[in-house]
Chain A
């Protein structure tokens, strides 16, 4: 092989690190996938409780992803396009849900809804230990990820076309609606997918704020925990495999749309 085509030891070393990390992951997934038989997995997944938890997960994740994008688009746009006093502080504050332990978020939610302001909201829409509470618990964390995604999307879109739109007589809202938003469509899908995937895996805040009541507020991560806590390992593994499959599908969707952002 000519010197020009010889792969440098530097790149080989980097490749080994990547291969080691991915190999570890594949080994874990393979071990989980072969822990139980396909028949047992199907039996668990077709049970009434798991079908309910699956449906509830799909519905609540979709609702929290839509809510997250509805908040992430205006907040991400504001943070990307405007510099204002305290911008850095607001930027850091928006990341708090990302770094806070999820269980702490659940405790904060539970305490807030015991206050006077929270009580007023509860009177209009009961949330604590309800399906609504599942969505709120997922949303408060997923929205932070969606905001970060949308901010990156807007950072990568040049503001020049919006500025040209303003010189052509558009208001800032019209420039946003007709020029920027259509260009951010793929990014919005990516943000929704990230929020959806994050919501699917959420467990701590849901357990604390919405509870883990079978056939009521039980979502897939709760099912894994409930099965594990009573020693039903096959059931826990079966639900875990279902969640891995769903996550893979979301990941593929994000990658496919991400390339078009």
Chain B
């Protein structure tokens, strides 16, 4: 479950208008929500506030009945997949996927078995020894997804994950995202510009406009 209460965020600098001006909405557990909005409307800022990468001016963030507004990103139980995957430039796919487990002090044997499982679930088992420059756009997104899922987050935050891949790869990744939500029982918030993605994936559709989430609807 994700809940935002009256989130306000204003860019630094005198006389700037708030980008987020009292954003409040909730997404039930294990559901797939899509957030749309124009470029510059504050979608990525909102995701960063959810991740704990940016502090809101005021308001509260709740994840799974726990207020996480003041918690650091690593303690929020989230998985984050930014646009183009943001893979670690010098780490192999194996090291990328195992990174979160290593940071959590998981024993090496368990890291290996969990990363193999995560890599298998997104179809990148054959790519484990590759570095990011040797991956296609779709493969990068799959690796980024495995890296986020391997630490078993309760919430998955996707920032335009399909924006930089071709239509055929988009279809494959959309199917993967549907399956991921189903198999992991995870709450997903997916930011996109694409109506096709919103209609193909979102049970909940949210629209960020004028600093607020104006409309929300269910498609299923």
Chain A: residues with CB nearer than 8 A to chain B?
A: 83, 157-158, 160-161, 163-171, 174, 178-179, 182-183, 185
Contact = CB atoms under 8 A, between A and B. Distances in A.
B88 A161 contact: yes
Contact of B80 (A157, A158, A163): A163
Interface string B48-61: 10011100000000
25 contacts: A157-B89, A158-B86, A160-B86, A164-B86, A164-B144, A164-B147, A164-B148, A166-B53, A166-B72, A167-B51, A167-B52, A167-B53, A167-B80, A168-B100, A168-B103, A168-B148, A169-B74, A169-B75, A170-B74, A174-B103, A178-B88, A178-B99, A183-B88, A183-B89, A183-B90
Interface of B: 12, 48, 51-53, 72-76, 78-80, 82, 86-91, 99-100, 103-104, 144, 147-148, 151
B47 to A, nearest CB: 10
Contacts of B74: 166-171
B88 to A, nearest CB: 5
Nearest to B89: A183
Q: By DSSP majority rule, is chain A's interface helix, strand, loop, or mixed?
A: helix
Instruction: Identify the interface centre among A158, A163, A171: most chain B CB within 10 Å of its CB.
Output: A163
A81 to B, nearest CB: 12
A164 B12 contact: no
A169 B80 contact: no
Contacts of B51: 163, 167
Nearest to B77: A167
Given A160-B82, A163-B51, A163-B53, A169 B88 contact: no
A22 B159 CA distance: 48
Nearest to B132: A161
Contacts of B73: 163, 166-167
B79 A167 contact: yes
Contacts of B151: 168-169
Instruction: Identify the interface centre among A83, A167, A170, A179: most chain B CB within 10 Å of its CB.
Output: A167
A180 to B, nearest CB: 9
